[in-house]
Amino acid sequence: MGIQLKFWTKFLLALMMPVLLACDDEVDIMLGSSTAVLNIDAWVNNKSELQTIKLTLSQPYFENDQLPPGVSGARVRISDDAGNWYDFTENERTRDGSYTWMPATGEQLGIPGRTYQLIVDYQGETFEATCRAGRVPPIDSITYKFEEGRGPIEDEYRAEFWGNDLVGKGDTYWIKTYKNGKFINKASEINIAYDAGISSGNGFDGVPFISPVRGKITPNEVDSDGQREPSIIHRDSLYVEIHSISLAAFNYLNEVIDQTDKIGGLSELFTSTPMANVSTNLANQNPKGSSVVGFFNVAVVSGKGKRLFLF
Amino acid sequence: MLINKLRPHAAHCFILFILMVLTLSGGAFGQARYTISGTVKDSTNGETLIGASILSKEAKTGTATNSYGFYSITLPVGQYRIEFTSVGYSTIVKNIDLKANLQIDVDLPSKVQSLQEVKIVDKSVGGANARNIEMSVNRLDIKTIQKLPALLGEVDIVKSLQFLPGVSQVGEGSSGFNVRGGSVGQNLVLLDEAPVYNSSHMLGFFSVFNPDAVKDVKLYKGAIPSQFGGRTSAVLDVRLKEGNMKKTEVEGGVGFIFSRLSVQGPLVKDKSSFLIAARRSYIDAVASAVTGDKFGLNFYDVTLKSNYIINDKNRVYLSGFLGRDNFGLSDDAKFNWGNKSATLRWNSLITNKLFSNVSAIFSEYNYNLAFNQDANNQYAWHSSIANYVIKPDFSYFISARSEIKFGFEGSYYRFNPSNTKGITNGEPVDNSLERKYALEMAAYASHQWQVTPRLEIQYGFRFSRFNYLGPGTAATYNDTIPGKRRTVVREKHYERGQTIASYQNPEPRFSLKFGIDDQKSVKASYSRTAQYVQFISNTTASNPLNVWTPSTNNLKPTVADQYTLGYFMTIGTTGMYEASVETFYKKSVNEVDYINGAELLSNKYLEGDLLSGKGRAYGLELYLQKKKGDLTGWVSYTLSRSELKIEGINKGNWYAARFDQTHNLKVVGSYTINPQWSATADFVYTTGTPTTYPNQRIVSQGYLIPYNSNESRNDIRVSSYHRLDLSIRMEGNPLRRNGVPRKNRDYWVFSIYNVYGRKNTFSEYFLQSTQRVTANTPLQADAHRVAIIGTMVPSVSYNFKF
């Protein structure tokens, strides 16, 4: 369902949850056996830092004890439409499936408007994906605001970032937030924007990001009982980055939200869509060859940070 | 007029068909024959009686009153003893010397009401009536419905339907109901002929029909008569009371969740009456008092009806409905939805053999969603479907053995998929989508004909046409990979009134009854139905945010063919038991499903996210009902399958529809202990709804994503659903302390829903633990199971009438 709407219903339902009859239990479910598939996690950007592409195999769904097995021995390259090649090399020591490329001074992977191709050769098969790097607006500022609690939410400080979407329809962004240097990585914290709004149908173009987007940089902290607790306290810092993503990547992250960000309980009445596989922009050159999952995106990044001082 | 708009060829066919019908029923032209016609009413309140029998033993024939209580029977000159009967009423016999046309209006006195009225199921609930040609039809009268144990003690019509064979629901909290493997949006739900686009209050826990205002409920699951069309699965025809013609009456009830009050009475005695019934929930007030939080979850509805008898031959009716659900938090975040409808009807007796009704109908469903952060940051969303219908309908009673029905239907739709206005940081933004317009027209005729005393047939024809109209923009999509979002190749704008796309369908209907003897019969039917407006919903249960959309140049109408065969019998000379066995097979084309990650709301290119394919459903329905005695009730069992085959889902193979239920068993029993106390119990067992599990996990940018390497859909079942409910009804003392009968009546209902507190699975979902993850540690996955009502729910309600 439309994520705009999902946002609002989730908000309403989250507030009302305690009084509703629904019950939501964690259960043990037996899932059948299955074979692993190659997963290429290739999100690179124009920052001058080590760029990593991770190749792993999928695992049984409830494999909660082991990290995904790394895929060693692949050849991983990116080319662009200006004839440049970026070779990602495997760390021979760890062999954990990480393939890296370090930009030399002045080198940049991710120039707005340029199209990039990822080529992965593995066990005699070739997997490819393309991505056109998008443009990104600057972040003007980050602000903190005290909000009184509502329902189960206590009084807390909430953060917003300020910036205008670039004029012209169809810019898509992933807004990533780092709290005290650590990426806030819950499914419920995935923050994507289509122009200044949340979904493709919106009319928010060239305006400040709308409040659900700019306010979603506030981390979603919960205590051990799953109750929300104040997310930003004295001396916490937030660093916010806007990554330009392709429309395909925007759709992909939407699907990721659909499949991973569940609040359960009565909200299932609104959100219980069938479990479905997320899309991929990778393809095996041989359509009859092995399956592949994962995603390739080249981002252009802007960022800004600020620390909260209460006294 | 309407017929002119049909294609000339179709119009010719149609006229030819009517002529054929007239010729076939030619028996009318022999000896002198006269017509007896009139209206049958309840003598106490003047309400017309639907389906009352008019029988002549001498002529070995009979008829029944129509939805307006009117009947007409044509017999040769002679002496007759005509019996007027209706269940729950005393029979009236009239001796008639028929030598001229006669008008006979009959007021049937109801039987001793106080105790008999609580006895369950007198009417043929299961459609097991071996004498009637109707098959795949269930009629529930309001007294039966009132006896079933209900959630939170509140009588509910849609919930009561769940106890019938062939009817199911995805789970508690889902709006609407499913019939013979069809989706919720494939049911035509009519409230006094007005289409109801969302029949639920409070996310499906209650339906919009106020039982105090309802007179009659009829569900057509197959063999759909030709006067109905526009949906492929079923027709729920709910008729409201007209209002007491004799005296003013007040009825009401007080329960845990809401209270009801209705007033009815004469405006002009025996000429005009009114009924007004209202309900309002107060769970919000109760919950606020308990938790101290200020939020709202409430609904109200008002049902109105009035009528005026102009003269012997003309009568007008006006019905109206207004309902609203509010779901929100104070003033800054709210969500509300509701229906409103109005029906103006004019009954006219053109001759004593030709009865007409013309209805003008308006119906609208809409919802609003609004969020105000502050003056500079607001968001408001509105979506609606509005429908205007004109429906002239005629019944021509040729003879006691032959009746023709014909008519037209013109329906204009206005869809407002999303009207969205926002302000972000002070800058206003309008993000509304184009409205869509459509015109649906149909002409129909059918002939019910008793060929021999044993063989009765009904054959009919409906011709429907749909125009998707401008102004609007029609997009053309490319064909890409099956199951993936399609992209727009070009768009074309159309002006007001221009046809963007049109479809038409001939819809033949046929049914046959062969009476083996007085107590046993075999019935068969075939019907084709076309559906031009689609209900867009991809969640397990439909919900108030789901929208309706017309057939367009991209989205083709669903067309279904249903075949049924059944055996019906009455057991015992007193008709103590009725039993039936029915089978059905249904196949359909252009069923809608959705791509993975479909955006169904506020999506200008919605059609790019829709998939289309084939459907099939088949099943066996068994039904046994005990109709008389202190213990009454029924057992209903359905074995069925409902499947879809859509390119891009489940690798293009057949998969179970989300409302598919293999087994569906219902048992209802009601016991009258003594004149004051009675008890009812019901038990429901159904196979769990289908679901899809992941078998693998993939990690992408640190997120744990479920993955199904088989690309299957709905190949797993959640655990089966079962539930026991109990209720006890206590009649108030009918006498005062001094022994004088009380003028008012009252009763208490004590009930327990889900007696053994089973947590019936509504859905199962998989997710990564919500705790924050540290780098280089395995992600933790959990499975969750949601039960909408996971405990037993006791309740008490007090009901009165004076």
pLDDT digits (tens, 9 = 90+) for B81-139: 999 988 778 888 989 898 888 889 999 987 754 333 333 333 443 333 666 767 778 87
Asked whether this complex has an ipTM greater than 0.90, the answer is yes
Q: What is the pLDDT of residue B114?
A: 37
Q: Which chain B residues touch A201 with a CB distance below 8 Å? A: 418, 431, 433, 599, 602-604
d(CA B541, CA B174): 5
* pLDDT above 50 (res A102): yes
Is B767 close to A260, i.e. CB distance below 8 A? yes
**What is the per-residue pLDDT for B56?**
85
Q: For residue B67, what are its two tokens?
A: 């939805």
Interface test with A, best of B283, B326, B698 (most A CBs within 10 A): B698
* pLDDT at res. B90: 86
B130 and B177 housed in the same domain = yes
How many C-beta neighbours within 10 Å does residue A81 have? 12
Query: Which residue, B74, B96, B111, sits at the end of a domain?
Result: B111
Are residues B671 and B554 both part of a single domain? yes
Pairwise CB contact (< 8 Å): B770 & A270: no
Q: What is the CA radius of gyration of chain B?
A: 27
Kindly determine whether residue A12 and residue B786, on different chains, have CB atoms separated by under 8 Å: no
Contact B353, B37 (CB under 8 A): yes
| Contact status, residue B562 vs residue B617, Cβ threshold 8 Å | no
Widest pairwise Cα distance in chain B: 98
Interface test with B, best of A41, A211, A252 (most B CBs within 10 A): A211
Query: Between A4, A5, A61, which is nearest B706 by CB?
Result: A61
Contacts of B291 in chain A (CB under 8 A): 18-19
Give the confidence band of B277 by pLDDT, cuts at 50, 70, 90.
Answer: very high
- B604: nearest CA partner in chain A: A201
CB contact under 8 Å between A256 and B700, yes or no, is yes
Q: Where are the domains of chain A?
A: 3-24+136-273+300-307, 38-134+281-298
Task: Give every CB contact of residue A237 below 8 A, 6+ residues apart in sequence.
Answer: A179, A180, A181, A305, A306, A307, A308
| Least confidently predicted of A272-276, B73-77, B335-339, B641-645 | A272-276
CA–CA distance, B239 with B613 (Å, rounded to integer) = 35
Pairwise CB contact (< 8 Å): A4 & B791? no
pLDDT for position A241: 97
Residue B244 lies in a domain: yes
Q: Which one-letter amino acid corresponds to residue B558?
A: T
Instruction: Pick A203's closest partner by Cβ from B369, B431, B779.
Output: B431
Q: Which residue has the higher pLDDT, B801 or B287?
A: B801
SS3 B387: strand
Between B325 and A199, the more confident residue is B325
Q: From CA B629, how far away is CA B244, in angstroms rounded?
A: 30
| Pairwise CA distance, residues B470 & B553, whole Å | 12
Q: Is the pLDDT of residue B372 over 90?
A: no
Domain final residue, candidates B66, B81, B111? B111
Which chain B residue's Cα is nearest to A254?
A: B597
Mean pLDDT of B637-664: 94
Other C-beta atoms lying within 10 Å of the C-beta of residue B11: 16
Distance from CA of B542 to the nearest CA of A (A): 8
From CA A258, how far away is CA B583, in angstroms rounded? 39
- Judge: B603–A200 Cβ closer than 8 Å, yes or no: yes
CA distance A277 to chain B (A): 5
Inform me whether the pLDDT recorded for B26 exceeds 50: no
- B447 and B423 both lie in a single domain: yes
Most confident residue range from B186-190, B331-335, B425-429, B608-612 = B186-190
What was the pLDDT predicted at B640?
Answer: 96
Interchain contact, B705 vs A28, CB within 8 Å = no
Q: Residues B382, B349: one domain?
A: yes
CATH of the domain at B83: 2.60.40.1120
Instruction: State which residues form the domain around B505.
Output: 239-758+787-801
Neighbours of A100 (CB within 10 A): 14
Chain B's closest residue to A276, CA to CA, is B596
Which of A65, A151, A207 shows the shortest C-beta gap to B424? A207
A254–B787 CB contact, under 8 Å:
no
Q: What are the phi and psi torsion angles at A3 (to 5°)? A: -75, -20
Alpha carbon of B589: minimum distance to chain A alpha carbons (Å): 22
Which residues face B280 on adjacent strands?
B259, B300
User: Cα distance from B537 to chain A (closest Cα, Å)?
Assistant: 9
Measured between beta carbons, the chain B residues lying within 8 angstroms of A294 are 698, 700
Q: In Å, how far is B70's CA from the nearest CA of chain A?
A: 44
Distance CA A87, CA B145 (A): 73
**For the residues B438-451, what does the mean pLDDT come to?**
95
DSSP class per residue in B302-364: EEEEEEEEEETTEEEEEEEEEEEEEEEETTTEEEEEEEEEEEEEEEEEEETTEEEEEEEEEEE
How many domains is chain B partitioned into structurally?
3
B513 token code pair? 């009854």
B-chain residues within 8 Å CB-CB of A200?
Answer: 599, 603
- Quick check: A165 and A193 in contact, CB under 8 A? yes
The answer on pLDDT for B703 being more than 50 is yes
B443 neighbors B402 (Cβ within 8 angstroms): no
Whether A137 has a pLDDT exceeding 90, the answer reads yes
* Per-residue pLDDT reduced to its tens digit, B655-688: 999 889 999 999 999 898 988 898 999 999 999 9
A chain contacts of residue B718, beta-carbon cutoff 8 Å: none
Residue A78 has pLDDT above 80, yes or no: yes
Q: Find out whether the peptide bond into B734 is cis, omega within 30 degrees of 0.
A: no
The answer to which of A65-74, B321-330, B618-627, B628-637 has the lowest mean pLDDT is: B321-330
Q: Which of B431, B599, B696 sits opposite A34 (nearest CB)?
A: B696
Answer whether residue B61 is part of any domain: yes
Backbone angles phi, psi at A271, to 5 degrees: -120, 0
Contact B417, B548 (CB under 8 A): no
CATH number of A38-134+281-298: 2.60.40
Yes or no, beta carbons of A25 and B327 under 8 Å apart: no
Q: Are residues B536 and B681 in the same domain?
A: yes
Q: Worst-scoring range by mean pLDDT, A18-22, B539-543, B614-618?
A: A18-22
Average pLDDT taken over every residue of chain B: 86
Cα B490 from Cα B621, distance rounded (Å): 49
List the single residue in A with minimal CA-CA distance to B603.
Answer: A201
Could you give the CA distance from residue B633 to residue B264 in angstroms, rounded to a whole number? 31
Q: How many Cα atoms occupy the beta-carbon half-sphere of A35 within 13 Å?
A: 6
Within-domain flag for B2: no
Give just the sign of the alpha carbon dihedral B488, B492, B493, B498: negative
Q: How close B263 gets to chain A, by Cα (Å)?
A: 33
Q: Closest partner residue to B291 among A19, A256, A259, by Cβ?
A: A19
Query: What percentage of chain B exceeds 90 in pLDDT?
Result: 49
Contact B369 A190 (CB under 8 A): no
How does pLDDT run across B59-75, given as a tens digit for each residue? 778 888 888 899 998 88
Spatial contact of B1 and B8, defined as CB atoms under 8 Å apart = no
Distance from CA of A127 to the nearest CA of B (A): 17
Q: How far is A237 from chain B (nearest CA, A)?
A: 17
pLDDT, tens digit, 9 for 90 and up, residues B759-786: 999 889 998 887 788 878 899 998 999 8
Q: State which residue of chain A sits closest to B332, comparing Cα positions.
A: A12
User: Does residue B769 lie within any of the structural domains?
Assistant: no
Do A201 and B604 count as a contact with CB atoms less than 8 A apart? yes
* Residue of B151, B488, B701 to mutate for A, most A C-beta atoms under 10 A: B701
Domain membership of residue B534 (yes or no) is yes
Tell me the chain B residues in contact with residue A271 when contact means C-beta distances shorter than 8 Å. Answer: 539
The CATH number linked to B462 is 2.40.170.20
CA distance B541 to chain A (A): 6
For B490, the token pair is 């070009």
Tokens of B388: 């205007």
* Contact assignment for A23 to B790 by CB distance below 8 Å: yes
Q: How many CB pairs lie under 8 A apart between chains A and B? A: 307
Q: Are residues B608 and B658 in the same domain?
A: yes
Are B90 and B231 members of one domain?
no
Query: Is there a single domain that holds both residue B72 and residue B154?
Result: no
Task: Provide the pLDDT confidence category of residue A237 given band limits of 50, 70 and 90.
Answer: very high
How many CA atoms does the CB half-sphere of B189 hold within 13 Å? 25
Distance from CA of B788 to the nearest CA of A (A): 4
Q: Provide CB contacts within 8 A for B127, sequence distance 6+.
A: B134, B135, B136, B137, B138, B139, B568, B580, B623
CA-based angle A301:A303:A309, to the nearest 5? Answer: 165
pLDDT-derived band at B28, boundaries 50, 70, 90: very low
Do B225 and B249 belong together in one domain? no
Q: Which chain A residues touch B539 with a CB distance below 8 Å?
A: 1, 269-273
Indicate whether B16 belongs to any domain: no
Instruction: Tell me the CA distances in angstroms from B523 to A155, B21, B458, one per residue in order.
Output: 68, 21, 11
Alpha-carbon gap, residue B435 to B615, rounded angstroms: 30
Q: What is the rounded CA–CA span in Å between residue B754 and residue B792?
A: 5
Mutate to test the interface with B, among A91, A273, A278, A292 (most CBs of B within 10 A): A273
- The neighbour count for residue A255, using CB atoms within 10 Å, is 19
- If one counts every other C-beta atom within 10 angstroms of the C-beta of residue A273, the result is 23
Residues B597 and B496 grouped into a single domain: yes
Residue B347: Cβ-neighbour burial (10 angstroms; 0-12, 13-18, 19+) = buried
| Inter-chain residue contact A35 with B369, CB threshold 8 Å | no
> Which residues sit opposite B103 in a β-bridge?
B37
Q: Tell me: do B233 and B247 sit in the same domain.
A: no
Chain A's closest residue to B370, CA to CA, is A8
B378 → chain A, closest CA residue: A211
| Residue B5's pLDDT band (cuts 50, 70, 90) | very low
Which residues from chain A sit within 8 angstroms of residue B482, using beta carbons?
none
Cα of B429 to nearest chain A Cα, Å: 6
d(CA B57, CA B102): 18
**Of the listed ranges A121-135, B219-233, B359-373, B740-754, the one predicted with least confidence:** B740-754
Residue contact A269–B425, C-beta within 8 A: no
Measured distance CA(B639)–CA(B619) in Å, rounded: 5
Are B427 and A208 in contact by the 8 Å Cβ rule? The answer is: yes
Same domain, B120 and B106: no
pLDDT (tens digit per residue) in A3-58 = 445 555 555 555 454 445 568 888 888 887 788 999 999 999 999 999 999 999 99
Tell me the β-bridge partners of B38. B71
Q: What is the pTM of this model?
A: 0.88
Nearest Cα of chain A lies from the Cα of B669 at a distance, in angstroms, of 28
Burial class of residue B312, CB neighbours in 10 A (0-12, 13-18, 19+):
exposed
- Out of A1, A211, A277, the one facing B600 most closely (by C-beta) is A1
Q: Which of A242-256, B155-169, B328-342, B408-422 has the lowest mean pLDDT?
A: B328-342
Phi, psi at residue B111, to the nearest 5°?
-65, 170
Does position B226 have pLDDT exceeding 50, yes or no?
Answer: yes
Q: Is residue B205 part of a domain?
A: yes
Q: What is the CATH number of the domain that holds B144?
A: 2.170.130.10
Task: Report the gap between the CA of A96 and the closest CA in chain B (Å).
Answer: 11
Contact between B329 and A25 using a beta-carbon 8 Å cutoff: no
Please check whether residue B87 lies inside any domain of the structure.
yes
Residue finishing a domain among B218, B238, B258: B238
